Amino acid sequence: MSTPNIQMVDLTTQYKKIKPEIDEAIHRVLDSGHYILGKEVGEFEAAAAKYLGTKHAIGCASGTDALQVAMMALNIGPGDEVVTTPFTFVATTETIVLLGAKPVYVDIDPLTFNIDPGALEAAISPRTKAIMPVHLYGHAVDMDPLMAVARKHGIPVIEDTAQAMGSEYKGKKVGGIGELGCISFYPSKNLGAFGDAGMVVTNDDTLADKVRTIIMHGSRKRYHHESIGVNSRLDTLQAAILNVKLKYLEQWHEARRTAARFYNELFKGANLTTPFEAPYTRHIYHQYTVRLGNRDKVDALLNEKKIPHAVFYPIPLHLQEAYSSVGKPKGSFPVTERAAAEVLSLPMHTELTQEQQRTIASAVVESL
């Protein structure tokens, strides 16, 4: 439900602004007859690698697949452990469990909502095969202390960059700091396709080669399968669309950052906590997420007022029914559990007007 003109994410207005370019790209692909891989995929991979400053960028079918394929490239499987955060979208844990490995959770930092690097070392065991931080909401994880622990123990890092393509850590784009970075181009992401799409990035030639093989059924040469793989190629159509949209990404990040600053101003003095932006990051505000002591009341009142909003995520992964076998009962990760009870994300996209933001902010403040 939404008040007229206010949407959580407005994808159609953005599309209309660049419609001629997008439509031209779509028709070029339709006319070419090449719908899987092809020129557009190579062009988008090169442009994305340049944008992120990584040596390799390999398109795949979704951000979820990117995580699975990255772990397959590291031979992660039964008996292995992957250290990660319980406060994230389900895909981060789902892919670990699908491969037969076990997620080992580390609680989050209360300010950034990201994995707490100070608590990381205690979670490392001889079975740890990867560390998987998530740059949640578009705010970078504090990577230096995390990488120091990873290097000390010789453990590779897979950055879940699904929500953070273009976010920076100390001036460097995230995704290319660890061994592998996994990106989602789900339509509502800062760089969104018109369907599912994803990407794995790396600076390591061997890992890049493995990822390229895995996404093609474990095959380098047609009908010769050297490893067990999956079918996870990036659609030519999505690549052509993403190639057009990538040119606008910086301008779109800035629009979100401007909108975030305006929300912060509107909420000055109100009894809520606006998003934290650590000095080491350039937050790209995939989500603008506030903390509220009385979140559920505000949630209900905003529903009545038909102001779009969302809770990312109401149930931490260690408390999800599907992952109860991980064996971490309620109370295991108090900072995460408190965040899950207090966070609320407000409309955030490139087409948000100040008038809309005033309406949203007034409705939130009246509901406190």
Residues at the site binding ligand PLP, with contacts judged by CB under 6 A? 62-64, 88-89, 91-92, 134, 160, 162-163, 184, 186, 196, 198
Residue 184 CB, shortest distance to ligand PLP, in Å, is: 3
Residue 136 CB, shortest distance to ligand PLP, in Å, is: 7
What is the spatial distance between Cα 16 and Cα 14, in angstroms, rounded to a whole number? 5
Query: Among residues 179 and 196, whose Cβ is nearest to ligand PLP?
Result: 196
Query: Among residues 60 and 346, whose Cβ is nearest to ligand PLP?
Result: 60
What is the spatial distance between Cα 206 and Cα 221, in angstroms, rounded to a whole number? 17
What is the spatial distance between Cα 215 and Cα 70, in angstroms, rounded to a whole number? 10
Residue 58 CB, shortest distance to ligand PLP, in Å, is: 15
**Is residue 273 within 8 Å of 264, Cβ to Cβ?**
no
Residue 70 CB, shortest distance to ligand PLP, in Å, is: 11
Query: Among residues 165 and 207, whose Cβ is nearest to ligand PLP?
Result: 165
Distances (CA, A) of 123 to 33, 56, 112, 126, 264: 50, 30, 20, 10, 36
Query: Among residues 91 and 149, whose Cβ is nearest to ligand PLP?
Result: 91
What is the spatial distance between Cα 11 and Cα 25, in angstroms, rounded to a whole number? 18
Query: Among residues 3 and 320, whose Cβ is nearest to ligand PLP?
Result: 320
Query: Among residues 156 and 198, whose Cβ is nearest to ligand PLP?
Result: 198
Residue 163 CB, shortest distance to ligand PLP, in Å, is: 5
Residue 61 CB, shortest distance to ligand PLP, in Å, is: 8
Q: Which region holds residue 154: left if phi is over 0, alpha if psi is between -120 and 50, else beta?
A: left
Helix axes of 63-73 and 205-214: crossing angle, nearest 10 degrees: 120
Q: Which residue is nearest to ligand PLP (CB)?
A: 63
**Is residue 107 within 8 Å of 132, Cβ to Cβ?**
no
Q: Is the dihedral of CA 59, 63, 228, 56 positive or negative?
A: positive
User: What tokens does 277 get?
Assistant: 């932006």
DSSP E strand boundaries for the chain: 56-60, 81-84, 102-105, 128-132, 158-160, 168-169, 172-173, 180-184, 198-202, 219-221, 224-225, 281-282, 288-291, 343-346
Query: Among residues 163 and 236, whose Cβ is nearest to ligand PLP?
Result: 163
Residue 160 CB, shortest distance to ligand PLP, in Å, is: 5
